[in-house]
Structure 1
C-alpha cells in the first residue's frame, strides 16, 4: 500500500514538473520526431541495415564521444530543437533498449535514417518506413498511457507536442534520381505528386492519433550535398536534383497551408531547410566554416578531418552539428511564432 502511494506521488510530481516546464517553454511539453536521418537519434541501431551510424568516427563530438546511431559528428537537429525549446538536452530514440519510461512524456524520436514516404525507399535499405513509424507512435501512446495513467493528460501531451517531420530527402535523392526504374516510369513532377499523396496520408494518420502542432521540414538542397557534387568532380551542384527538391518543397509548403486551414484545432508550419543551408554552402566563411567538403566518410575525405567545426558537412549527406546550429535559431523561432 505504501509503495503504491509513493508511486502515485512520483507520477503526480512528474506531471506537475512537466506542466510547469511546458508553460516555461511556450506550451510545448514534448517534441516527437518522424522521418529520416536529419532527425534520427538511433532507431536503426538494431536493424539489419547498412544505414547505421553507431560506430566511430560518428559521434566523436557527442558527449563522451559516443557513436549513438546519430548520423553526424554530434547532436542532430531533433536534439538541438528539443534543447533550444528548453524541454530536455537530447531526444531519445523510441526503439532504443535504453529508453527510460520517464522520458516518454517529454518526447521521443521515431525517425529512421534512410527512410522516406515511398515504401521502396525504406525497403531497399531495410529501415523503418514512415507509415511504420506511425505504428511505433501508436505503441508510444500506449506506453505513455500506462506510465501516466490519465487519458486526459496523455491527450493533452500529444496535442501540445511539437511534431517535427523530415521526409522526402531520400525519396528524391536516392529512390528517384539514383533508380533508373523510377526515372523511366515517372517524371519528377509526377513523382513528387506521388510523394505529396503519401505525405497527406502520413500527416492525416498523425492527426487522427491526436497530434495537433506540426513543424514540417522541407528537403535540403539535395543537388549540393557532397555525395551529389562528387558526381561533377565537386565543381557544381547538380541542377536537376535541386530542381526536384525545390519542386517537392513548393508542394509540401502548399500542403502544409491546406492542412492548417482545413483540420480543426491543428497548427501547421512549413520550415525551409533548402535556402538556409544553401546559403551556408555558398558562403561558408560568413558562418565560420572554411569548406563545404565533408569532414569524413566520403570519397573526398577517406581520413576524417581534424576539426568538424570548420566543415559544413560531416559526411557525404549530413550537415555537421555546427551547421545545424547555424540554421537552428530561425527554425525554433518559426516553431514558437506559429505553433505556440
Structure 2
C-alpha cells in the first residue's frame, strides 16, 4: 500500500471517528446531551434480566408484540418503555439498549445504555428476593461500561466528555414499597412507612453520589407510580378502586424525594438535578381515561388473572400487565417530561 493511499485512509478514519463521537452529543442551546444512562427498575429496563436466573423477566410473547418486528426484547410492556422514549426525545436513539445484552454493539456505547433491572430497587432485599440486579450492582456495571467506552472512543478525555454531558435517569422505589415493604414482613417489623421512605431517600442520595463520583453531572430522578392503582393492587379490592395504603406510601416517598432532589445541588457542586413526577400524570390517565382515548384503567391488557388472553388493542389500556403502563400511556405522558429535561439538564 503506497503512502498516499495510506494517508487518505487515515484521514477518512479520523473523520469517521470525529463524526461518531460528535454525533453522540446533541446540541441544545449552549449545552449538550451526549447520552442517556438508565438505572433502577422495570419502568426503564430494556432487557438486562434476560439471562438472569429469575422469574422476573419478560423475553417471551406477548411482551414486545408492538415493537418493530414484534419481538420480545425483555422490555416490560407491549412496546417501547419510558427509557426508550426519553432517549428518542433527547435526539439520541429510538431504542435504548440493555448493557447486559450479549449482542450489544460498541456503536451504541457513546449514546447511552440501560443498566436498570426489572424487579430491582434501592433496598438490597428487593433485588435479592427476586434474583435481579441491585442498583449498587448496576453502578458496578456502569463502572465496567466506562472502561469499555474508553476503548471505543480512543481516549479518556472524550469518554469523560460523554460521561459528564449524559443524562442519568433513575427509577427506583416502586418495588421497594410495593413488594419489599407491603408484601414481606421483614421491613414492616423494622420500620414505619415514614421511616422506610426516609431510608429510600437516603439510598437514592447514596446512588447519586456513587454516579457523581464517576463523573455524572445531570440527574433526572423519577418518583414512583401510583402503586395502589396498578392492576395487581386493585385486584385485591375487586378492581373497583385503587388500594389506599400503597398510594399513600408512594405519595409520601415522592414528596420526600422531590424535596431532596431540589436541594442536592448544594451537596454535589457542578451537578444539575430534576425530579420527574410519574404519579400525577398516570393518575390523570386513570381518573380521566377518555380524554386520551383509553377505555380500561383497572385491568392489564395481558398477563393477569382477568386477562389470560391478551387484549387486541393495547393502546386502549392504561396498563399492559399487573404493574406496567402500555406504550401508549408512556407516549401520552412523556412529551412534557422530555421538554422539562431539555430545559433543566441540557
- TM-score calculated relative to the size of structure 1: 0.96
Aligned-pair CA distance for 1:113: 0.2
Out of 236, 250, 263, the position equivalent to 1:258 is: 263
Decide whether the 8 Å contact of 1:25 with 1:86 is kept in 2: no
* Cα 1:216/1:184, change in 2 over 3 Å: same
Match of 2:216 among 170, 188, 211: 211
Q: Map 1:18-37; keep pairs closer than 5 Å.
A: 18-19=24-25, 21-23=26-28, 27-37=32-42
For residue 225 of structure 1, what is the aligned residue in structure 2? 230
> What is the CA-CA distance between 1:197 and the residue it aligns to?
1.7
Give 5+ residue unaligned stretches, structure 1.
Answer: none
Matches of residues 233-244 of structure 1 in structure 2 within 5 Å?
233-244=238-249
Q: 2:158 aligns with which of 153, 166, 169?
A: 153
Distance in 1, matches of 2:29 and 2:162, equals: 15
Write the deviation string for residues 9-61 of structure 1: whole angstroms up to 9, x where unpaired.
43223123334x44589611111100000000000000000000000000000
CA contact (8 A) 2:54 2:130 kept: yes
Deviation at residue 299 of structure 1 after TM alignment: 1.1
Structure 1 residues 327, 168: closer, same or farther in 2, change over 3 A? same
Deviations 1:54-95 (A, max 9, x none): 000000001100000000000000001111111111100000
Match of 2:326 in 1: 320
- Structure 2: tracts of 5 or more residues without a match: none
The Cα of 1:194 is off from its aligned counterpart by: 1.3
Alignment of 1:18-167 (within 5 A): 18-19=24-25, 21-23=26-28, 27-167=32-172
Deviation at 1:200, TM superposition (A): 1.4
The answer (yes or no) to whether the contact 2:64–2:75 under 8 Å persists in 1 is yes
Runs of 4+ off more than 4 Å: 1-4, 6-9, 23-26
Contact 1:25/1:85 (8 A) holds in 2: no
Q: Distance in 1 between matches of 2:160 and 2:308?
A: 48
1:260 CA drift (Å): 2.0
Matched residues, number = 339
Assess, with a 3 A threshold, how the Cα gap between structure 1 residues 59 and 48 changes in structure 2: closer, same or farther.
Answer: same
Change (3 A) 1:314 1:25: farther
Largest Rg, 1 or 2 = 2
Is the partner of 2:198 in helix, strand or coil? helix
SS in structure 2 at match of 1:234:
coil
